[in-house]
């Protein structure tokens, strides 16, 4: 039996509104995104913050940590070391990218 993947808004709708379509929740989500895009002074800096903090973690840290969790007992020490190094490096890059993005946001808002 295939596993059905549901979009995030459908999962939230089921949690908050039973198993029915929730039009006000979807409109609220669209409104929140629109207001964020209009009122964040430099939206590109906000996107850089999201990209540096979330994308690095999703692209590098989580796959390596999942690989280590699932196959850690079957891997050689070199494989474990490479996964641990990848997790450590991705955390360092995510923290550095988040820090520089926050500096850019605060620098551009004070100028």
In this prediction the pTM is 0.61
Residue boundaries of the structural domains of the chain: 1-39, 40-111
pLDDT value, residue 88:
96
Contact 45, 105 (CB under 8 A): yes
Q: Give me the sign of the Cα torsion angle 29, 30, 35, 37.
A: positive
Interval 3-57: pLDDT, tens: 555 566 666 666 766 666 667 777 888 898 888 878 777 778 888 888 888 888 8
* Structure tokens given for 17: 């509104």
Contact 26, 12 (CB under 8 A): no
Write the DSSP assignment of 51-63 as a string of letters: IIIIIHIIIIIHH
C-alpha 33, offset from chain centre: 16
Which secondary structure element, helix H or strand E, spans residue 12, and what is its range?
A: helix 8-17
């Amino acid at each position: 039996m295939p596993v059905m993947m549901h979009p995030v808004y459908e999962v939230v709708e089921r949690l908050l509104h039973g198993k029915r379509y929730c039009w006000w929740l979807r409109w609220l989500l669209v409104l929140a995104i629109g207001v964020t895009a209009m009122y964040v002074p430099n939206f590109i800096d906000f996107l850089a913050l999201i990209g540096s903090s979330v994308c690095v973690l999703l692209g590098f840290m989580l796959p390596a940590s999942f690989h280590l969790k699932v196959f850690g007992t079957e891997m050689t020490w070199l494989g474990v070391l490479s996964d641990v190094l990848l997790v450590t490096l991705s955390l360092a890059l995510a923290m550095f990218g988040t820090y520089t993005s926050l500096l850019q946001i605060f620098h551009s808002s004070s100028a």
